[in-house]
A and B are shown apart, each in its own frame.
Chain A
Amino acid sequence: MNCVETMALSHQFSNKEQVLHNINLIVPQGAIYGFLGPNGAGKTTTLRLLLGLLKMQEGAISIFGEAFENNRISILKRTGSLIESPSLYGHLNAIENLKLWQQLYQCPKERIQTVLNLVGLSKTGSKKASKFSLGMKQRLGIATSLLHQPELLILDEPTNGLDPNGILEIRELLVELNKQSGITILISSHILSEIEKLVSHIGIIHKGNLLLQGTFKSLMEKQQQSTCIYFETNDNVKAMQLMEISATLQAPGNKIRLPIMPKEKIAQLNTLLTQNGVDVYEIKTEKNDLEQIFMQLIKEN
């Protein structure tokens, strides 16, 4: 079952600029869905539409199998969110901040301490939120979104401004929440490497178009397919004849390009070439990382 589904979602702002084009987002139940795209791609607009912060113009949104338009309150009861910077009242401390949200979500008061422990802010005492570091503010924002034990968590660039340690902490927290409580997480980011260790599903958006969507595994397969081996020899023509691999290509820089293969096979090819008088100068495996695939997709569109 899909937790979030959008059907042909399109949106344009008053300046007539179309920011979303027929977005068909599918976030399966229990998934950690990484919503990727460069700045200005339409990530925040999509997430704001999902939460009802923008009036829907075209398309449809279904969350927990219900149309958002007609079931706003029941859906929001089961959804936690953190859009852009965290919403914290600077003149209140962490507990006071959570108390006012607890009143609106009508969840047990004990949840306040639970979420503060969860995000490591239980010892902030009377310190006002305005005096918190950026990382602490971000964690309190996450605590707010988790207060009512949501089934769906929508996070817009939650690691923005965090140091590497902070990013790691948030990542671990989200994985734990997903594994232990089965929360579906929809997380946006413009840095693939930041969330690639976290997500089970991925969607790439650029200029308001969803370029790719699927499991993280399928993206890994794509990465695998684009990985290749380069041979540099003194006689490429002879080397290619000896290798008898039809897929071999003459790559730029006068190198022979071969698809990925087991290392034993690479060793065999090397022996074959040297035994037949071909000098091998270099054998190099070139692995396209996910960032390159991401950039490639964006460039192509």
Chain B
Amino acid sequence: MKITILNSIKSELLKIQHSAALWLVGIGAIFIPVIMLLMQFAFPEKTAEKNLSDNFWEGYFNESWQSMALFLFPMGIILVTSLLTQLEFKNNAWKQLYTTPQPMSFIFISKQKVIFILMFGFLLLFNLAIYVSVLIPALIHPKISMPPEQLPILFFIKSSLIFFVDSLPIIALQFLISMRFKNFLASVGVGFALIIASMFAISWKYGYTIPYTYISLNYFNNIGIPRTSVSNIHLLSVAYFLLITFVSYFMYINRTEKG
């Protein structure tokens, strides 16, 4: 029977069960909403008032994304990507994987797709956790009620997808580094340094040239404090992603020593 790319992806998905990458996605997605939930219990009067405000959900969504956009989401991508490739390095499994009867391209594509799946899962869980963090105080605390405004599901989906698009270059570059270097610290170190650099670069005129800034730039656009003159950073993000992925694939396929 011929092996399809779907079999490769399924196999990669089986690999991540009980893995640190999966735990990180789960815990990372609920981390900020849990803090926000606790804040609501700590300040019930303020919460009750805020819940009645106009555009509550949009404001709450942007508030949830504040520290997520600047640091936690890019850092999460870096860790998840590194942990995923570490599964092969740590378990001496590259050599076994390369001797399976599948085209070399399947291994590359399936691994990248699993990162996408994990990131989609993260965003889905994060959005659910945002909703639940508002729902729980309203159900438990007598002073807090549910916001009268209907949950803007489409806004949540669209905004999350845009954040995902803006994270694509980070995924691509971290994937390249973590596939190339056995040492976990190499990919995490480079990624961490680039996040710090991007924090400074946000205020820089040409900050948009550093792809790690796109998530933050999008966040500042969302809250009405644009930090860039570039009209469409999302397109730039996709372009960077395609370019880095092409380079990454070229390097991967031309490796003389595999596993």
Question: Do they bind each other?
Answer: yes
Asked if A226 is at the interface of the complex by the 8 Å CB criterion, the answer is: no
Segment of A96-104, A160-168, A183-191, A232-240 in the binding face:
A96-104
Interface string of B223-259 (1 = CB under 8 A from A): 0000000000000000000000000000000001111
B interface residues, Cβ below 8 angstroms from A: 1-3, 7-8, 10-11, 14-15, 17-20, 87, 90-103, 256-259
A83 and B95 within 8 A (CB): yes
B91 and A89 within 8 A (CB): yes
Within 8 A of B (CB), among A20-59: 48, 51-55
B18 to chain A, nearest CB (A): 5
Residue from B19, B95, B258 within 8 A of A91 (CB atoms): B19
Query: Given known contacts A54-B258, A87-B91, is B100 in contact with A101 (CB within 8 Å)?
Result: yes
A89 and B3 within 8 A (CB): no
Residue from A48, A85, A91, A92 within 8 A of B92 (CB atoms): A85
Residue from A90, A92, A104 within 8 A of B7 (CB atoms): A104
B257 and A103 within 8 A (CB): no
A263 to chain B, nearest CB (A): 52
The CA-CA distance from A226 to B10 in the complex, in Å, is 58
Asked if A77 is at the interface of the complex by the 8 Å CB criterion, the answer is: yes
Chain B residues within 8 Å of A99, by CB? 14
Chain B residues within 8 Å of A144, by CB? 96
Interface string of A76-116 (1 = CB under 8 A from B): 11010101111111111000100111011110000000000
The CA-CA distance from A77 to B103 in the complex, in Å, is 12
The CA-CA distance from A51 to B101 in the complex, in Å, is 11
Chain A residues within 8 Å of B7, by CB? 103-104, 106
B180 to chain A, nearest CB (A): 16
A92 and B17 within 8 A (CB): yes
Chain A residues within 8 Å of B259, by CB? 48, 53, 83
B238 to chain A, nearest CB (A): 31
B90 and A90 within 8 A (CB): yes
Asked if A122 is at the interface of the complex by the 8 Å CB criterion, the answer is: no
B96 and A96 within 8 A (CB): no
Chain A residues within 8 Å of B17, by CB? 92, 96
Besides A99-B14, A104-B8, A105-B3, 13 more A-B contacts (Cβ < 8 Å) are A76-B99, A79-B99, A83-B96, A84-B95, A91-B20, A96-B17, A100-B11, A103-B10, A103-B14, A104-B3, A104-B101, A105-B100, A144-B96
The CA-CA distance from A76 to B90 in the complex, in Å, is 24
The CA-CA distance from A183 to B56 in the complex, in Å, is 69
Chain B residues within 8 Å of A84, by CB? 92, 95
A52 and B93 within 8 A (CB): no
B95 and A53 within 8 A (CB): yes
A52 and B258 within 8 A (CB): yes
Chain A residues within 8 Å of B99, by CB? 51-53, 76, 79, 81, 83
Residue from A85, A86, A106 within 8 A of B3 (CB atoms): A106
Asked if A73 is at the interface of the complex by the 8 Å CB criterion, the answer is: yes
Chain B residues within 8 Å of A88, by CB? 91, 93
The CA-CA distance from A48 to B11 in the complex, in Å, is 23
Which B-chain residue is minimally distant from A128 (CB atoms)?
Answer: B18
Query: Given known contacts A76-B99, A86-B92, A106-B3, is B14 in contact with A91 (CB within 8 Å)?
Result: no
A144 to chain B, nearest CB (A): 7
B101 and A77 within 8 A (CB): yes
Chain B residues within 8 Å of A92, by CB? 15, 17-18
A294 to chain B, nearest CB (A): 28
16 chain-A/chain-B pairs, Cβ below 8 angstroms = A48-B95, A51-B95, A54-B258, A73-B101, A81-B99, A89-B15, A89-B87, A89-B91, A89-B93, A96-B14, A96-B17, A100-B15, A104-B100, A104-B102, A106-B1, A106-B7
